[in-house]
Amino acid sequence: MPHNSAMTLEFNEAVKRMPAYPAAGGYALAEPVVLLASNESPYPPLPEVVAAASAAIEGANRYPDPTNARLREALSDRYGVPIEQIAIGNGSCDVLLAVGAALLEPGAELVYAWPSFSVYPQLEAASGARAIRVALDAQERHDLDAMAAEITVATRLVIVCNPNNPTSTAVELERIARFVEAVPSHVCVLLDEAYCEFNVLDDPDASIALLDRHPNLVLLRTFSKIYGLCGLRVGYALCGSRELPDAVNQIRQPFFCNAAAQAAAVEALRHQDEVARRVERVAIARVQLQDGLRALGIEPADSQANFCWFDLGDGRDETDVVSGLANRGVLVRAGAALGKPGALRVTYGTPPENDRFLEALGEVLAGA
Ligand SMILES: Cc1ncc(COP(=O)(O)O)c(C=O)c1O
């Protein structure tokens, strides 16, 4: 049959509303580059983790465990959350979108801060719900009072991203606890903790105690960042009740988490010494970047994550800076695509990668 390029399909409203995810480029580049654009870990998985994933691949003629039993047991052991209150996903984004699918519909409302994680706008686009975006405060942190003021009878979901992507900032758990206390119990509060392990303001696991008091609370976490497994896609949610995991499992396809990802995640959880080492490396990189940026006259936001965020100032167009850096083999993210023109988001790399970024930025800003 001859190829007919005329468009005849009629797509639904959700497709027309759906924003394109601003994914980083550079994955197909042949030249060695410094990838600081996607908040990944620069450190590969441990050999034991690779071995566990490889062993799972040898059995890939079988479907993966659809109940994710071993992984949920391992998470339950580690965090003391009942296994029925744990949802697994193909990355934490999968759980996030399933929470949206389970809770939202036309007439419903969701509240989140902006700028925040680029996937949140997909929630209103997919469901037809109304999104209320609340501006960050002057330190580019969540303004929880302003968010609480936006909750109405129609609100089904409130998202707090802590630490926040793209601004890297965090709010203290004590303030989050007061916020959750004030939210009506029929509203789901999703605390997106993708970067919580890097946060030094609070014990990263202190939020788990809130689940006992708030059945409407969900802590969204991932193996993509601290565990360095984003290429395998596995994330999880620790929930205050079993209703939400049941609903998100009901609304998704079965087998949403592949066998290699499940096996790798179980093994990675056994190596908390490596987690501690990575947290320490990120803390060192944070100081390296902070000092280097200040030497260039730039003041970054107070980062509690594995990346930094800063305004270039002087009304400077960041797209020129991003391409200047790319020409020097360093890929970072322009603020415009993430909600704030004139800003840059830069993931911490290894110490030599961070040096290379700082040197390249110095050259670009000097117009070299
Ligand atoms: C705030 C936030 N939440 C969730 C995710 C999703 O990560 P994944 O789907 O890889 O678990 C990311 C990834 O960048 C993120 O920045």
pLDDT at 21: 83
Candidate of 41, 112, 192, 196 to mutate for ligand 1, largest count of ligand atoms within 8 Å of Cβ: 192
Q: In this structure, is the dihedral angle defined by the CA atoms of residues 21, 170, 305 and 52, taken in order, positive or negative?
A: negative
Query: What is the helix (H) or strand (E) element at residue 130, kind and residue range?
Result: strand 130-135
Ligand 1 atom 14 nearest Cα: 39
- Whole-number Å distance, alpha carbon 93 to ligand 1 midpoint, is 6
Measured CA to CA, the distance from residue 134 to residue 87 in angstroms comes to 28
For the chain, how far is it from start to end, CA to CA, in angstroms? Answer: 55
- SS3 string of 300-323? CCCCCCCEEEEECCCCCCHHHHHH
Averaged pLDDT in 10-residue chunks for the chain of 368 residues: 71 90 70 89 97 98 98 98 98 98 98 98 97 97 98 98 98 98 97 98 96 98 98 98 97 96 98 97 98 97 98 89 94 94 97 97 90
Q: Give the type of residue at 93.
A: C
Please tell me the pTM assigned to this model.
0.95
pLDDT at 3: 63
DSSP state of 74: H
Amino acid letter, 144: L
Determine the atom of ligand 1 nearest the C-alpha atom of 223: 11
Looking at residue 356, its pLDDT comes to 97
Query: Ligand 1 centroid to 305 CA: how many Å?
Result: 12
Distance of alpha carbon 87 from alpha carbon 245, whole angstroms: 5
Strand-pairing partners, residue 299, are none
**Predicted local confidence at residue 292, as pLDDT:** 98
Q: Give the model's pLDDT for residue 195.
A: 98
- Tell me the CA–centroid distance for residue 347 and ligand 1, in Å: 13
Cα–Cα distance measured from residue 336 to residue 334, given in angstroms and rounded to the nearest whole number: 6
Integer Cα distance of 95 and 101 in angstroms: 10
Residue 192, SS3 per DSSP: strand
Question: Which atom in ligand 1 lies closest to the alpha carbon of residue 96?
Answer: 4
CA–CA distance, 169 with 159 (Å, rounded to integer): 15
- Tell me the helices (H) and strands (E) count for the chain, helix number first: 13, 12
